[in-house]
Amino acid sequence: METLQPASITIEEFNVISDIFSQAITGELIGMSNFASLVETIDDPHEKMEAVEHANSERSHAEGFMAYAKKKNLKININLHSPYWGNVRKQFLSYAIKKDFIACLIIQEVILESFAVSMYTDVANALGGEAGRLFHNIADEEKEHLEHSSDILRAELNKDPKAFIKKFEEIHFNCMTILAEFTATTDLRGHCGVCNGDCMKGALHHIGLDVTVMRGNALALYASALDNIGIPGEKSIIWIARLPA
Amino acid sequence: MDCQAPSLDFAIIGHQENWQHITALINDIRTPRLEKLPVEKIKSIFSFIPPRDVFKINAKSKTGAEANGVYIETFIDPDMLDAQYIRTNISKVMNAVAFAKKLGAKVVTMGGFTSILLEGNFDSFSPGPSKFTTGNTLTAAFIVKGVEKAITQYGINLQESNILIVGATGDIGMACTNYFKGKTKKMLLCARNKNRLQKFALELIKDNILVNYSIVLDELIPEADIIICVASSTNIQMANCKKNVLICDAGYPKNLETTIDNPAAVHLFHGGMGQVLNGYSINPDYSKSMYHYEAPYISHGCALEAIVLALENKFETYSTGRGNITNDKMEEIYDLSLKHGITVAPFYNTKGLW
């Protein structure tokens, strides 16, 4: 078995990489569960199959991360009921129960994928090598999800802009608030329940990352996704400014 | 409808002067319901935000015409305006330009630092329905008309005065110099780029204009009766000014007052500013945090140039490049602004109205 040897990386680097993979695997499994729940909200058989395919895609991402973690003997902690991830899942389910396909799409494909694409890219650039390639490839696939959903949501906005923006605003504050708290410099709601020891955010510098920059990049991508859908800037700036920081 | 209008008369691309203003704006957007964010937290997010329209603007002419536009914030870090950050900032400005095009703005003015793209003749403005202007012509017009008004108020004889232009080789500095040449006793020119300054001064000397020029401001200040500062530098020091010298601070940011060794002995006003007599409104109304003037409906000349052009249905690249502002163009845009009830702003400085 290949392992990350102490000679090649420090214990601090090993711990933070383990935590990053733990978060990524947990996030992908949440995504998989969300898409699986989404299947129930769709009547169109083709779209139903597409949702299953997306769930499978998230599963394969989780498997990819797990395989790498196993190969490198990383210390992985998966916790789908952790405070932040669990709350994101609860939010998603609250809309899935109502068979609100558009709301589910906003949560999974815009909010969560924006953060995934941006943060995976940052991690990929920092880690390089095999792990970097893995994160890059998965980020590219998640980006396709983000772009695909933008087309659907843009069409939805054009049908009834006022109602759509109102709905998006509600979802933004329900869901982005959780992510904003999660990605704040310090966990605003205590330990995330996924990191092995203390919060990894304070240790990201060991692999050349900074949570402020990662969060900033993720918010930037989210803001661009909102622009792409057609949310007016004067609305999106309000939504972003009113998040916890 | 809550969604974007398909097209706009004008857009103003800009950036904030300092973190104090940004903090006030963000906390205003957050509303009093939420806890106020300290500047450090705002700094950690603000400059990541891609350019976007922040509020709508409706300006009213005295002719009854109205123009509708938006303000597009670039989210440039005010502490990162130096040359070393130019790539990052130009990229932000380019994104703002793309945003203005996407919104369908018919005329777009580029305020403060962002005008660098047009002044520098960057090959970045692909043909399209949106026309871009630096707004420098109306800014320059408001500066020179303001100075003329102020010298009348103080009984200063222009022909017997030495006028110092700080930032003389910039677009606005050249326009001011060309306007006042031949009307004063002597032109004193200061700029950072020695070669460009020398070239410009020699052209004036050829026209029999009495000129002193230097890249060292201290060498020129003691001679000056009137000073127009259009430099964007943040480290200008105004020492050894003549008593009762008239100073027009038209730089960005306007921070000369803090650099003058004896502020009580000078007459300083913030120049290049105009006032819309029939008013303008912004929506959402962030004026509580964004409006920092002592009189109503004041704005920068560059922003007002887009409004004047929009009110005139004159959607064209009015001000572009460097050194292209003629006296005729200044008179033209100034006359158009007066037609719409947009005049030189009342004189004020950080202590309030004169």
**What pLDDT is stored for residue B1 in this prediction?**
39
Q: What is the pLDDT along chain B (354 residues), one digit of tens a residue?
A: 344 444 699 999 999 989 999 999 999 999 889 999 999 999 999 999 999 999 999 999 999 999 999 999 999 999 988 888 988 999 999 999 999 999 999 999 998 888 877 777 655 566 688 999 999 999 999 999 999 999 999 999 999 999 999 999 999 999 999 999 999 999 999 999 999 999 999 999 999 999 999 999 999 999 999 999 998 766 778 888 999 999 999 988 788 888 887 888 899 999 999 999 999 999 999 999 999 898 999 999 999 999 999 999 999 999 999 999 999 999 999 999 999 999 999 999 988 999
CATH of the domain at A93: 1.20.1260.10
Chain A (201-230) residues lying within 8 Å, Cβ to Cβ, of chain B:
212, 215-217, 219-220, 223-224, 227, 230
Specify the number of domains making up chain A: 1
- Residue B32 has, within 13 A of its CA and on its CB side, a CA count of 2
A139 inside domain: yes
Structure tokens at B38: 């300290």
CB contact under 8 A, B49 and A219: yes
State the best of A213, A237, A243 to mutate against chain B, taking most chain B CBs within 10 Å: A237
What is the interface pTM, i.e. ipTM, of the complex?
A: 0.90
Cβ of B27: how many Cβ atoms within 10 Å?
Answer: 19
Nearest to B44 among A216, A233, A234 (CB): A216
pLDDT confidence of residue B7? 66
Determine how many CB atoms are found less than 10 A away from the CB of residue B20. 12
Put simply, the answer to whether A236 touches B52 (Cβ < 8 Å) is yes
Residue A1 inside a domain? The answer is: no
- Cβ contacts of residue B36 below 8 Å, gap of 6+? B27, B30
- Residue contact A233–B2, C-beta within 8 A: no
What are residue B108's DSSP bridge partners? Answer: B11, B132
Q: Is B295 on the interface with A (CB under 8 A)?
A: no
Looking at the complex, does the CB of residue B41 fall below 8 Å from at least one CB of chain A?
A: yes
Task: Calculate how close chain A gets to B75, using CA atoms only, in Å.
Answer: 11
A49 touches chain B (CB under 8 A): no
Spatial separation of the C-alpha atoms in residues A161 and B6, rounded to whole Å: 13
Q: With CB atoms and an 8 Å threshold, state whether A234 touches B55.
A: yes
Flag whether residue A236 sits within 8 Å of chain B, measured between CB atoms: yes
The nearest alpha carbon in chain B to A215 belongs to: B45
Asked if the structure places residue A217 within a domain, the reply is yes
Give backbone dihedrals phi and psi of A50, rounded to 5 degrees, phi first: -65, -40
List the domain range (segments joined by +) for residue A173.
Answer: 11-241
First to last CA, chain A: 42
Is residue A131, in this structure, part of any structural domain at all? yes
Does the CB of A145 have a partner CB in chain B at under 8 Å? no
Q: Is residue A168 part of a domain?
A: yes
Q: Do B54 and A220 touch (CB under 8 A)?
A: no
pLDDT tens, per residue, chain A with 245 residues: 555 554 578 999 999 999 999 999 999 999 999 999 989 888 889 989 988 999 999 999 999 999 999 999 999 999 999 989 999 999 999 999 998 999 999 999 999 999 999 999 999 999 999 999 999 999 999 998 898 899 999 999 999 999 999 999 999 999 999 999 999 887 667 788 888 888 888 899 999 999 999 999 999 999 999 999 999 999 999 999 999 98
Domains of chain B, first to last: 8-137+274-344 (no CATH), 147-272+348-353 (3.40.50.720)
What is the Cα–Cα distance from A197 to A75, expressed in whole angstroms? 11
Within-domain flag for A4: no
Confirm or reject contact between B56 and chain A (CB < 8 A).
Answer: yes
Task: Determine the longest span between alpha carbons in chain A, in angstroms.
Answer: 59
E strand or H helix at A153: helix A129-159
| Integer Cα distance of B93 and B90 in angstroms | 5
* Chain B neighbors of A215, CB-CB under 8 A: 44-45
Does residue A39 contact residue A51 with C-beta atoms inside 8 Å? yes
Residue the block writes with tokens 């300290």: B38
Cα–Cα dist A158/B21, whole Å: 35
- Which residues in chain B are closer than 8 Å to A234, comparing Cβ atoms? 52-56, 70, 284
Chain A nearest C-alpha distance from B115 (Å): 22
Q: Are B2 and A216 an interchain contact pair (Cβ–Cβ within 8 Å)?
A: no
For chains A and B, count residue pairs whose Cβ atoms are closer than 8 Å: 74
Pick the residue of B1, B3, B23, B27 with the most A CBs within 10 A to test the interface with A by mutation.
Answer: B3
